[in-house]
Every structure is written in C-alpha cells, then in structure tokens.
A and B are shown apart, each in its own frame.
Chain A
Amino acid sequence: MGSLLSTVDTSLTHAVSTTHVHMATTIEVLPTSLPGWTQLAAVGVGAISGAAFAARRGFDVVGVLVLSVATGLGGLLLRDTLLQRGTSIVLTDGRYLIIAAIAAVIGFFFAGLVDRLEPVVVVLDALALGFLAAAGANAALAIQLPPSAAVFIGAATAAGGLVLRDLLAGVAPGIMRPGVLIAAAAFIGALVFTVLVVYTGMARGQAQVIVVLVVFAIRVLAVRLQWRTRPARDLTDRIWDRWIKIPKRNPLPIEIAPETTPTAVSTFSLPPDWDDTSTFLRPPGLRSNGEAEEGRDKR
C-alpha cells in the first residue's frame, strides 16, 4: 500500500527504530517521535493496573492473566479489529503479550505494592491514556478514514481496555458512569490529535507529544480538583417554558347564573316507596304498610 507509506512523515522516520512493518496492509505503529518502547510501556502500565484490579477482587492466576491482557492490550486489539487491516500488532509483535504476562505476575504478587504506589500509577495511567488515544487516531487517519472516525477510534483505543476489563470482571463498565474523567479525557485527546494533524497539518510526532501532555494535564487536574462527569439533565421543560410554550391567557370570567328557586311544574307525584322493589311483585293485599307485615309475622 504505497499511499499508506507515503503518509509517513519522512522527517520522523529516523526516530522510529523499532517500527514493525509486517505486511503491506498492516497499520504502521508509526510515525511517532517518541521512542518505540513508549507504546510497550503504555501497554505495560495498563496491564499492571488491570492485574492489580483482578488480584484485589480475588481472581485466580488465569483470571489475573486474562484481565491483565484485556486491560493492557484490549484497546489496541479493538482498534485493529475495527480497522480490519490484517492481524493485530498485539499478536504479530510478541513483546506485547510477554509484557502483559510480566504485568500479570507483578499484579498477582505485588497488588498491595501497586495500591500503595497509587499516585505513581495514576500518573503513568494518564500518560498511557494520551499515548494510546494518539496512536488510535493516528492509525485511523493513516488509512484515510474521516476525522470523526479517527476521533472515535482514538477514544476507543485508549478506553477500550478498561471497558473490556470491566466486562470480563462482570461489573458494569465504570467509565460510562458519572465519575472520574477518563473516557472524556481520552476523547479530548483524540480530538486534539485529529484537529492538529488534519486541520493544521502538524507532524504526527509533535501532535502526539502535545496530546500526551494535554491528556496528562486533564487527568491530573481532574484527579486533583475532583472533576466529575455528570448524568444527563433534562432541559426539555426549561426550553419549553422559555421558548415554545404559548403564554397562558387570562381565563375568561365564567358567567354564573343567578340562583333561581325551583318551581313545581306538576302536581302529580309518585308514592314515596315507588322504587321499592321488595313490594313490587306481591299480591295487592299484602302490600303497603309495615304494621300489617309485623302483624303477619306475629301470627
């Protein structure tokens, strides 16, 4: 695919020492001005946090390994699956799985240490998030997808691992709930990368560095200042009241008819017990007053 290779920023290829070009159709890991080990490091950080997550929940060896692989490699795997350009980099480059396995061992035996080093993990996670967002958006742009798709793929690459981890652990994915700003940060990172590359023509390597810094700043500020995302709010009533509703008119005064005394229209009237059905089908002799009835009972 010559067009793909031509999109590679030639001024940056010297920095890409560990680039793997497998087949003509695979996505380049490229063109990054960050050294090649940074992507492995980003994957490793995610894998360690996934392994610690599993260990804390009392998963067994296999569970920790699976969650470590899912959290670390899930995003890249999702990206390569959606972009459909041959086998995923996660499988063709053996180092990714090895790093995930090492992370699983660390998480299995040192989950307590990982918890104790939480600030460090948060910082590393923030760096990895921006890196993966840029890597995902870059891969989508490299095969000439529209910018909106690149933003989506970038955010999915960065946050996909967390979604996969939660699904496999059997909990509702947390990044979609109101709470800490992770998916939103990844989304903003992918957006910034796409805007920089597509609309300002910035070199991809520089754009990636900027994205990593932006996402890092957002994540750290979000943690420090406790920014939280909010659930939906229903603006229908407000918009309705403000813009659409027809103002209420004053109710028309209702004419109340003056009270009139009812006048008799007829002198005919029914006997007071005319609707008493109990007396209806009796013979005429037994009809009427209660005295005769009582008398009959006594007899």
Chain B
Amino acid sequence: MSTPVVDVIAFPAFITITTVTFGGLSGALHATKRGLDPIGVFTISLLCAVGGGIIRDVLLQSGVPTFLVNPQFLGLAAVAAVTGFFLAGLVKLVVPLITVVDTLLIGSWVLLGAERALAYHLGSSAAILLGVITATGGGLIRDLLCGEVPAMVKPGEWYGLITIIAALFFVGLVRLGLPIGVAEASTMVMAAVLRIAAMRGNWHTPTAYDLWGDLESRMTAGVEQSIRKRDETLKQNEQVLNDASRD
C-alpha cells in the first residue's frame, strides 16, 4: 500500500480555535464546580483545551508544543478561566450551547491528532492512536488533576468509543485515497451523528462480560444456575452504571 503524504494540513484555523475555546470553557466550569482556586481553574481550563495536543506533540517529538509557540492558546485559556471563575452563572446558562458545540466538534479533536500523525508520515495505527489520545487526553488529564477516575475508563457515555471509531474511519478514508478535505468533513459529520445517536438513545458502554465463566457454568450446572449467574452479573453492571451516572 502506498502511503499517502498529507503535507498540507487542510484543517481550517477557526475550527481549531473554536474547539480549543469550548474545551477551555468546559474545563473552567468543571474546575469551578469542584471549588478549585484561580491557579487550579486556569490549569484545568488550559489542559482541557490543549492537553491532548500536548501529549500528541510530546509523543511526536515535533518540537515545542503548539500552545507554547502560539500565545493565543494561552490567552484563550486565560479568558476561559477568568470567565469560568467569575461568571460561572453565565457559563451555566450556555451549557446547552457547549454541549452542542462539543458534540459537533468531537470529530475535529480526532482530526487534530490523526492528521498531524499522517503529516509526519506515521503509519495508520499510530495515526489512530494519536487521534484518540488527542481527543481524550484533555479530559484524562483534567480528571487526574481533579483526583477522579478518568471518565474515559469508566463505563458510561459513548465518548472514547466514538473517538476510536472516528479515528479508524478517518484513517481508512485517507488510505482509500479520498481527498483529505472530504475525509475530514465526512469524519466530523460521522462522529457528530454517532454522538447525537448515543446521547439520544442513552447508550452506555458495556463492562467486561465473563464469557468463560458463563460457558463453564452452563456446562457444569445446567441452565438455571447460569441464568442466575447472568442475572447477578447484569445487576452488578447496572449498579456500576448507576454509580457512574451518579458521579
């Protein structure tokens, strides 16, 4: 397979700015809700906005991370932090807007990473990994710094799964030889549609299912016991999900 070279990054700058701004705003709100001090709010806001990008740049070893070279990213994060710190009431009013923009931009987070990896002539799997890391890294760092189990690894909403699917989709389209702009647009639309479907349908990611134990009990103790065991597992799963959603 010939490796397509994505030398020109066709991603429009305003989408990057919007993505980062809304990431920072949601981070500032998250930090304010947890009662952090000004430095904490700024840090969380910044890392929500550019945390994924930092991990990406460090992994790619591509020089100083973008947010340090471009002062506008630090400025955006500072504005978001100040807004979240003093005007939390105002930000809460636009939470539906943040949710909508977040939904529409989930694909662009993936693209920010996957495309950069392709531009550095990395392989498909590396591009997928970097896309997922860029999309989920900000939230991961945010949760770690807030002292919580990262939402990414907890059973719950479809977010990480969608980024994986979107990254696979994008890299697949590029490898099929589609123009980069078409691949970008369709990935963003696909991710947004998937996210909306997941939110509307209240989809939850499944926890591990003990298939071996299930088969074993089926073979040894007959059908009734296996059903009992499955019901127990289901009940446990439900409890875990309830705990997760209560958080």
Q: Give residues in A with beta carbon < 8 Å to B.
A: 81-84, 140, 143, 145-149, 152-153, 155, 163, 167, 171-173, 175-179, 183-184, 187, 229-237, 239
Contacts and interface: CB of A to CB of B under 8 A. Distances in A.
B212 to A, nearest CB: 31
Interface centre among B46, B75, B144 (most CB of A within 10 A): B144
B37 A82 contact: no
Interface stretch (B84-92, B125-133, B195-203, B225-233): B84-92
A177 B35 contact: yes
Main secondary structure, interface of B, reads helix
Given A84-B63, A148-B74, A235-B87, A230 B68 contact: no
B38 interface: yes
A70 to B, nearest CB: 14
A149 B65 CA distance: 10
B64 A234 contact: no
B86 A176 contact: no
Interface centre among B43, B44, B63, B69 (most CB of A within 10 A): B43
Contacts of A236: 86-90
Contacts, number: 107
A145 B39 contact: no
Interface string B66-104: 011101001100000000111111100000000000000
A143 B37 contact: no
B145 interface: yes
A178 B41 CA distance: 11
Given A82-B54, A149-B74, A229 B90 contact: no
Contact of A143 (B46, B64, B87, B89): B64
Closest 6 A/B residue pairs (Cβ): A172-B147, A176-B40, A236-B89, A229-B37, A149-B68, A183-B39
Nearest to B93: A236
Contact of A231 (B35, B62, B71, B147): B35
B32 interface: yes
A87 B43 CA distance: 26
Interface residues of B, number: 38
Contacts of B69: 145-146, 149
23 contacts: A81-B58, A82-B65, A82-B68, A83-B68, A146-B69, A146-B71, A147-B71, A148-B74, A149-B67, A149-B68, A152-B74, A172-B146, A176-B36, A177-B40, A178-B36, A187-B39, A229-B38, A229-B39, A230-B38, A232-B38, A232-B41, A233-B85, A236-B90
A24 B38 CA distance: 38
B61 interface: yes
A9 B223 CA distance: 82
A72 to B, nearest CB: 20
B39 A175 contact: yes
Given A172-B147, A239-B87, 14 more contacts: A83-B68, A84-B64, A146-B68, A147-B71, A148-B71, A149-B68, A149-B71, A149-B74, A155-B39, A167-B144, A172-B145, A177-B37, A232-B41, A236-B88
Nearest to B86: A235
A163 B145 CA distance: 8
Contacts of A230: 37-38
Contacts of B85: 232-233
